[in-house]
Amino acid sequence: MTTTVDVDQTAPGRDPAAKPSAPAPRAARRHRLNFTPYAMLAPATILFLIFMAAPIVYTLILSLQKTEVQGLGLGSGARKTVFAGFSNYAAAFSDSDFLASAGRVGLYGLILVPAMLVLALVFALLLDSKRTRLAGFSRVVIFLPYAVPAVISSLLWGFLYLPSVSPFVDLTTALNLPSPDVLSQGSVIFAIANIALWGGVGFNMVVMYTALKAIPTDLYEAARLDGASEIRVALAIKIPIILPSLIMTAIFSLIATLQVFAEPTTLKPLTNSISSTYTPLMKVYRDAFIRNDVNSASATSIIIAVTIFALSFAFLRVVQRRAFQEENS
Amino acid sequence: MSTVTKPLGSRGSMARPQLAKNRSGRIGANDKTSYTSTIILLLGALYCLLPLAWVLMASTKSGGDLFTSNTFVPSRHLFDNIVELTQYRGGLYWRWMLNTALYAGVGAFLSAAVSAFAGFALAKYSFKGKQATFMVLLAGVLVPGVILAIPQYFLLAQVGLTNTYWAVLLPQIISPYGIYLARIYAGASVPNEIIEAGRTDGASDLRIFLRLAVPMMAPGLVTVFLFQFVGIWNNFMLPYIMLGDDRLYPITVGLNGLLNQGSTVPALYSLVITGALLSIIPLVVLFLVLQRFWKVDLGAGAVKS
Amino acid sequence: MRRTIRAAVGAGVLAAALVMTGCSSSGSSNSNDGSLGTADKPVKLTFWGWAPNMDKVVDTWNSTHKNIQVTYVKTDAGDPAVTKLLTAIKAGSGAPDLMQAEYQKIPTLVSADAIIDIKKDVSAETTSKFSDGVLSSVTLGSDALYGIPQDSGPMMFYYRADVFKKLGLSVPTTWAEYADVAKKVHEADPKNYLGTFSSADAGEFAGLTQQAGASWWGSDGDSWSVDIDSASTKKVASFWGGLVEDGVIDNQPQYTPEWNKGLAAGTQVGWVSAVWAPGVLAGNAPKTAGKWKMAPLPQWTAGEQATGNWGGSAVAVTSQSKNVKAAVQFNTWLNTSKTAVSQMVTDGGLYPADTVDSKAALATGNGFFKNQPDFYTQAAKIAETVKPFTYGPNVNVAYSAFNDQFGKAAQAKSQQAFLDAAAQMQKITVADLKNSGFTVK
């Protein structure tokens, strides 16, 4: 994920994270055989091997197996595990529920990621603008939902969505307006996206705001004095400079989007519109925990992980080529 | 993109130095209040506050009034609800809070420590396999937690650690994201000259790290800590799978259990809502107190390596 | 169900056939199953369950049985508990000695080798306390005994007596009358419904088809049969689909905040539920105490007496238990002793499956139904009319298919969609059995 982006973000003494990175110390390289870095990496490496690498390998193995049953499948020894080749993968790719869930998450990403990024960017730019009042208050409040676990935020929004307990519906009925059922088939995807947006926009805003604050003031103060509008300053100066941050937030949002699970799972009991395979990870959960079919779940898991991997890389490649070739040349 | 460099070349600040103020400076001629932007931002704040305001109002209502009274009119039962929540199964709720604090606090501390070591090593040393190690660790960001939780359960079951505090604590110490951030912070905040100076004085690398680098990286490490703290606090899947005993639950799993009691037992909505409210408070406080550490510059990570 | 199902002998735990999950725990377990412990060196048992206040019943046992000490662990209800047990079984360790298991989950647990046959340790006197219908859910029609029944859920019809009186309605005794009353209730006030069709509650629908004569699974020789899409199921599906299509009953799931509000605010005028309903009503709508009444379920044919079952559990001994004898002894006490069963009624609000020992405790009636002092006498009569029903090894698959398919149908509000949903359920359930390698007829 290291890009060759190199943007000058010199902000003297402001934010340690934004300081330019010095070249790696030559002295360190001169050490002949130094075990120190390996020792320092050891805890992370060991934990990584045990809690990430081994589970992934295990998942791979599981995905190539299946359980076979004899007779009625009752009693001990009636089930055994056999090698299944890629049949679990083939089954996943021919499962219309899975394909539908993949399509749904694609749509969900198209709704959520742009909305999240645009809104976060707008908020960050407004925060950065000296002409905005009460910015400190707004910044804290918009960031707050990040502190609310998805399970709890989905529960809260669920209450606000259900027509007969929703204060909004009370309001619209009082005003004699039609009250849409946000949990109906057509709009439930927006209802879910809204919960994720609510929880995530503040975080992304803070990321972008941090990057904006790292821009040396004189870079755009001059432009403003030359009469450029705030919007023009933002579009022409600020956004291009924080582009690396925007790209990283986009990638992390994309990853989070493809893993959407907690929100639809919490809303599921409230509506007829969310099936047990509404998103790919819900299918994984259903297969593993409701159907007790760990092998199918593993195969689907691997497909999801590979997809996320591929999409993240593809995205990075594309934006890198498009956005940075000019600067790098 | 060419516009980027234009203002750089034609900086006019020298011509009018009296207006080129420090960012934190007073309001200049160009800085008159913009009502549009203030209002947009306040609308955003309102949107974010709304569900929280709702939960605050709802938690003041008794179980019987919860659904039948006007939503945004507060009632007086908050204290009763807290008492009822406290009495539920002998104070189990508060135990969930303590569990959560333990999982998130200890887990995030260890995670920050592990990340600091790894990040420092990756940023400040040149060694064989460095790039590969970093790439592999970072790839961990892409793996969904739901996918890991099942095989992690099988592995921990082998050593008899499922349904214990360790089952939730250990898997969450490793944080690819934390290592990624720690590497950025180490690279940006620890000058190589300091390391050199330390070496010249004959200090060991460990001493240099602990005495010189860690204090410099501290603000960044606090951010890593906060990150992981929120991550663990919010994590539902791992404890949900690992734990069977509800005395070990963190708050998310506990509240979910109160809500899904099965068809023969009523869901305890007023307890869940009060519990949700109380569970948010510590995090809100943590955010407010430590908000200056929330500086996450992802872009700075895109450095040439 | 004629065939004798091979009993689960020993506990050859199916290790997940991997190096990492390998051996260690399996093989010659149950080595200690004869010991009953002493006060100095008690046998220690773990018991997973979620019934309300079960910890108090366990405390009673612990204070009077020093040789066997039970640790009660309250888990999440239903599916999550089963999931955890199955995962622990696969992992080879981590399972408790005893486990609360809903009746419909028992074939799944047996088939996963998670719970064992305890027939040889249970006396005939113990089993004689249960009705045949309840007992068949733990024997699976074989010679084995996979658990001791704890509580049961014969289905009944609940209605707001005050609203019925106001509207001059009489209690429906047939489903045709139910449809008629539903229409009148909704016409009198469009906000009110006599009931809802809940796609979230597969157990309720299964119980309703059970009343109509359905039995979704069956076994014959070495093969299973699936009969979800039977004439009886179709009858029930098309009945509810018709009511939903006409809009006279609601189509939203139960156990949502919205549904709770309906109970509390009086817009849900009736509820097709089971004997445990008073607890739910008291919890969700405490202010409606004394306004509800209970009656037998409406019948398909006038004069008939039949009902289904919704909910209820048995307590089973897991295949990882090293103290089977002690576990069975505790289990027997828990579910068939007067002390425990009475405490279950008073503290837990359960309707015990053991109808002999619970008689005294139930005689006082239910506090929420003060207007119906003979609540449990009537309930006991209804409980005798539960029709037989066989669950299969993939109830979870069928139930989750129910949620998805009937969710769509309820959303579509069309009778035909309900029939299609039943057909889809059948298809998915059969496909899953075949895919798992079962022989399906």
pLDDT digits (tens, 9 = 90+) for B246-256: 899 999 999 88
Q: How far apart are the C-alpha atoms of C309 and C313, rounded to whole Å?
A: 11
- Is the CB of B54 less than 8 angstroms away from the CB of A134? no
Q: How far is CA C34 from the centre of its chain?
A: 32
Collect all residues with Cβ–Cβ distance below 8 Å to C315 and sequence separation of at least 6. C47, C49, C98, C99, C100, C101, C147, C148, C150, C331, C334, C335
Single-letter residue type at A206: V
pLDDT of residue B46: 93
The share of chain A scoring above pLDDT 90, in percent, equals: 29
pLDDT of residue A26: 46
Q: What are phi and psi of C217, to 5 degrees?
A: -125, 165
Residue C322 pLDDT class (50, 70, 90 cuts): very high
Number of domains present in the structure of chain B: 1
* Model pLDDT for residues A65-92, shown as the tens digit of each residue: 988 777 666 665 667 788 888 999 999 9
CA distance A257 to chain C (A): 23
Residue B93 domain boundaries: 87-295
For every residue of chain C, which 3-state class applies, written as one string?
A: CCCCCCCCCCCCCCCCCCCCCCCCCCCCCCCCCCCCCCCCCCEEEEEEECCCCHHHHHHHHHHHCCCEEEEEEECCCCHHHHHHHHHHHHHCCCCCCEEEEEHHHHHHHHHCCCECCCHHHCCHHHHCCCCHHHHHHHHCCCCCCCCEEEEEEEEEEEEEHHHHHHHCCCCCCEHHHHHHHHHHHHHHCCCCECCECCCCCHHHHHHHHHHCCCCCEEEECCEEEECCCCHHHHHHHHHHHHHHHHCCCECCCCCCHHHHHHHHHCCECEEEEECCHHHHHHHHCHHHCCCEEEEECCECCCCCCCECEEEEEEEEEECCCCCHHHHHHHHHHHHHCHHHHHHHHHHHCCCECCCCCCHHHHCCCCHHHCCCCCHHHHHHHHHCCECCCCCCCCHHHHHHHHHHHHHHHHHHCCHHHHHHHHHHHHHHHHHHHHHCCCEEC
Q: Which residue has the higher pLDDT, B297 or A306?
A: A306
Q: Is residue A81 helix, strand or coil? A: strand
Per the prediction, chain A carries an average pLDDT of 81
- Which of A17, A150, A326 has its CB closest to that of B188? A17
* Model pLDDT for residues A32-42, shown as the tens digit of each residue: 457 888 999 99
Domain of B115: which CATH number?
1.10.3720.10
Which pTM value belongs to this model?
0.84
CATH class of A95-328: mainly alpha
- Is the CB of A58 less than 8 angstroms away from the CB of C20? yes
Nearest residue to B115 (alpha-carbon basis) of B271, B21, B227 = B227
Per the prediction, chain C carries an average pLDDT of 87
Residue C296 pLDDT class (50, 70, 90 cuts): very high
pLDDT of residue A236: 83
Q: What is the mean pLDDT of residues B173-178?
A: 90
The helix (run of H) or strand (run of E) holding residue B7 is helix B5-9
pLDDT of residue C8: 30
- ipTM confidence score: 0.80
User: Measured between beta carbons, which residues in chain C are less than 8 angstroms from residue A87?
Assistant: none
Domain boundary assignment for chain A = 95-328
CA distance A4 to chain C (A): 41
Q: Sheet harboring C217-220: ordered strands across?
A: C217-220, C223-226, C439-440
Nearest residue to C61 (alpha-carbon basis) of C79, C42, C85, C78 = C42
The answer to whether C140 and C110 are in contact (CB under 8 A) is yes
Q: How far apart are the C-alpha atoms of B93 and B255, rounded to whole Å?
A: 9
Residue A270 has pLDDT above 80, yes or no: yes
Q: How far apart are the C-alpha atoms of A220 and B4, rounded to whole Å?
A: 10
The answer to whether B261 and B268 are in contact (CB under 8 A) is yes
* Model pLDDT for residues C15-47, shown as the tens digit of each residue: 222 223 333 333 334 444 456 778 788 999 999
pLDDT of residue B202: 87
Q: How far apart are the C-alpha atoms of C179 and C160, rounded to whole Å?
A: 16
Residue B297 has pLDDT above 90, yes or no: no
Residue C350 has pLDDT above 70, yes or no: yes
Residue A312 has pLDDT above 70, yes or no: yes
- Which of C83, C255, C393 has its CB closest to that of A73? C393
Per the prediction, chain B carries an average pLDDT of 81
Output DSSP code: residue A82: E
- Is the CB of B265 less than 8 angstroms away from the CB of C280? yes
In a domain, B123, yes or no: yes
* Model pLDDT for residues A149-193, shown as the tens digit of each residue: 998 999 899 988 988 778 777 777 777 777 778 888 889 999 999
The domains found in chain C, sorted by start residue, are 43-153+310-383 (3.40.190.10), 154-309+388-440 (3.40.190.10)
Residue B181 has pLDDT above 60, yes or no: yes
Residue B282 has pLDDT above 50, yes or no: yes
User: Measured between beta carbons, which residues in chain A are less than 8 angstroms from residue C250?
Assistant: none
pLDDT of residue A121: 95
**Cα separation values, B260 from B176, B255, B266, C22, C415, Å:** 33, 9, 9, 35, 30
pLDDT of residue B278: 92
Question: By CA distance, what is A123's nearest residue in B?
Answer: B41
Give yes or no for A176 touching C (CB within 8 A). Answer: no
* Model pLDDT for residues C80-131, shown as the tens digit of each residue: 788 888 878 887 888 899 999 999 999 989 888 899 999 999 999 999 999 8
pLDDT of residue C6: 33
Q: What is the mean pLDDT of residues C258-276?
A: 92
Residue B298 pLDDT class (50, 70, 90 cuts): low
The answer to whether C404 and C230 are in contact (CB under 8 A) is no
- Which of B141, B191, B219 has its CB closest to that of A255? B141
Give yes or no for B265 touching C (CB within 8 A). Answer: yes
In a domain, B209, yes or no: yes
pLDDT of residue B295: 67
pLDDT of residue C316: 96
Give the best-scoring range by mean pLDDT among A205-209, B291-295, C424-428. Answer: C424-428
- Is the CB of A36 less than 8 angstroms away from the CB of B205? yes
- Which of A165, A269, A272 has its CB closest to that of C261? A165
Question: By CA distance, what is B239's nearest residue in C?
Answer: C84
In a domain, B4, yes or no: no
The share of chain C scoring above pLDDT 70, in percent, equals: 92
Q: What is the mean pLDDT of residues C361-374?
A: 89
From A226-235, B220-229, C11-20, the region with the lowest mean pLDDT: C11-20
Question: Looking at chain A, how many residues does it have?
Answer: 329
Give yes or no for A158 touching C (CB within 8 A). Answer: yes
* Model pLDDT for residues C197-207, shown as the tens digit of each residue: 999 999 999 99
pLDDT of residue C75: 85
CA distance A43 to chain C (A): 22
pLDDT of residue A17: 41
Q: Is residue A66 helix, strand or coil? A: strand
Residue of C14, C59, C76 to mutate for B, most B C-beta atoms under 10 A: C76
pLDDT of residue B135: 85
**Encoding tokens for residue B84?**
């009822």
The answer to whether B241 and B150 are in contact (CB under 8 A) is yes
Output DSSP code: residue A35: -
